[in-house]
Amino acid sequence: MARENGESGKGTWKKQVDDIKKIFELKEILGTGAFSEVVLAQERSTGKMFAVKCIPKKALKGKESSIENEITVLRKIKHENIVALEDIYESSNHLYLIMQLVSGGELFDRIVEKGFYTEKDASTLIRQVLDAVDYLHKLGIVHRDLKPENLLYFNPQDESKIMISDFGLSKMEGSGDVMSTACGTPGYVAPEVLAQKPYSKAVDCWSIGVIAYILLCGYPPFYDENDSKLFEQILKADYEFDAPYWDDISDSAKDFIGSLMEKDPAKRFTCDQALRHPWIAGDTALCKNIHESVSRQIRKNFAKSKWRQAFNATAVVRHMRRLQLSSSMGQSMDSSHPHPPNSRAAQMQNQRNQSQNPNAAIMKSFSVDSPHKDCKWTCMHPHTHKP
């Protein structure tokens, strides 16, 4: 039988339980993280399904602040486009985070399996992300790790809403409204973070711009095999709208991306401003089918599931609805669109051609020198999957 923790201060929101299996029927293991395990679970009293993040207390030693931060953030959030923390239980040996279960699959999977995909579809998706992040910012919460793999569909229906997950690196803004810890995923992180300058909620807006870019062409705006050169590109906001991939994309879409991927955070659009941009609020997003080009690039640049090493409780659907993508899909199309010789896309293609293993996606993790030792950067370097 669960009982509320009666202690004052921290921990009052935890429900004490002798055995979690008395409340939930624990089913298959959906994934493991650095110090947690994700389990599909059914609540015995209601039959409802949840994702349970099981965290051994012994694994929390030295990491208490990290999990406390995630819980503090999640407990404040109630939004239709954000995966919810439903409950928290504590036993003598474990902490259990009961998460909302989403079943619609991952963002890239949905785009690839579609037969028809337009700018308008991308605009609708980005509007939901902006609305959710605007809500977070008004609560004083900065996500700090927005990226496509943290965007999941609520259910398998075609018109399913998108859900933001993974708040492990989120942070409540302090009175000064600036932070300095180097956190995030390099390909999506704002220049001021890489420069180790104080930053604010504007870093999330940059990341949304990067996501929008990828949604319209299928490849990332910044890429280099060499980390230093990759960082240099980001620090300079050195990106291109390469032909032919961007030839059929509207000027409004490019203007929208440029407003978010603005090097100067003071000039960068806020979520509120972005929500009022014609590409989001108006009718400038085109309805031309761009599925063939975008899905082909996604398959090359974001090889499914090969670059993930850990799962978050809010992303359990990654095991529930895994799609089998043929490794040969798109290979016959590699040369269908020759690249301009000096374009970023051409550079990525050349490096792809030089790779010894043209079918491998390589995961590379590294820590950024920072006084905050618990901060880990994780980057998927698509060494061999490029335009």
Q: How confident is the model at residue 188 (pLDDT cuts 50, 70, 90)?
A: confident
Lowest mean pLDDT, pick from 3-7, 39-43, 58-62, 322-326: 322-326
Q: Mention every residue, 6+ apart, whose C-beta is less than 8 A from residue 43.
A: 23, 24, 49, 50
> Whole-angstrom Cα distance, residue 84 to residue 164?
9
pLDDT for 345 equals: 60
DSSP state, 82?
B
Q: What is the mean pLDDT of residues 188-193?
A: 86
Facing residues of 141 across strands? Answer: 172
Q: How confident is the model at residue 370 (pLDDT cuts 50, 70, 90)?
A: very low
Q: From start to end of 44-123, where are the E strands?
A: 49-56, 85-90, 94-99
Q: What is the mean pLDDT of residues 171-179?
A: 42
Q: What is the mean pLDDT of residues 227-233?
A: 89
Lowest mean pLDDT, pick from 120-129, 299-308, 373-382: 373-382
Lowest mean pLDDT, pick from 140-144, 204-208, 311-315: 311-315
In three-state secondary structure terms, 29 is strand
pLDDT for 200 equals: 83
pLDDT for 209 equals: 97
Model confidence at 67: pLDDT above 80: no
> Whole-angstrom Cα distance, residue 80 to residue 237?
32
The answer to whether 333 and 296 have CB atoms below 8 angstroms apart is: yes
Q: How confident is the model at residue 77 (pLDDT cuts 50, 70, 90)?
A: confident
pLDDT for 184 equals: 47
Q: Would you tell me how many other CB atoms lie within 10 Å of the CB of residue 81?
A: 18
DSSP state, 152?
E
Average pLDDT over the chain, rounded to an integer: 75
pLDDT for 286 equals: 97
Q: Which residue has the higher pLDDT, 91 or 357?
A: 91
> Whole-angstrom Cα distance, residue 302 to residue 300?
6
Q: What is the mean pLDDT of residues 115-133?
A: 96
> Whole-angstrom Cα distance, residue 178 to residue 356?
44
Model confidence at 20: pLDDT above 80: yes
58 is in an annotated binding site: yes
CATH tag for 105-170+182-297+314-327 (out of 3.60.21.10, 1.10.510.10, 3.90.1200.10, 3.40.50.10880): 1.10.510.10
Among candidate residues 241, 268, 272, the one with its CA nearest the CA of residue 127: 272
Active centre residues (catalytic): 145
pLDDT for 183 equals: 44
**Which token pair is 67?**
């999990």
Domain with CATH 3.30.200.20 in the chain: 16-100
The answer to whether 180 and 193 have CB atoms below 8 angstroms apart is: no
> Whole-angstrom Cα distance, residue 105 to residue 146?
17
Q: What is the mean pLDDT of residues 244-261?
A: 97
Model confidence at 114: pLDDT above 60: yes
> Whole-angstrom Cα distance, residue 223 to residue 182?
20
Facing residues of 152 across strands? Answer: 106, 163
> Whole-angstrom Cα distance, residue 87 to residue 92?
17
Domain with CATH 1.10.510.10 in the chain: 105-170+182-297+314-327
Model confidence at 381: pLDDT above 80: no
Rounded to the nearest 5 percent, the helix, strand and coil shares of the chain are: 35, 15, 50
Question: What Å distances lie between residue 50 and 96, 101, 154, 235, CA to CA?
Answer: 12, 5, 13, 41
Model confidence at 249: pLDDT above 80: yes
CATH class of 16-100: alpha beta
Lowest mean pLDDT, pick from 7-21, 49-63, 71-85, 347-361: 347-361
The answer to whether 23 and 17 have CB atoms below 8 angstroms apart is: yes
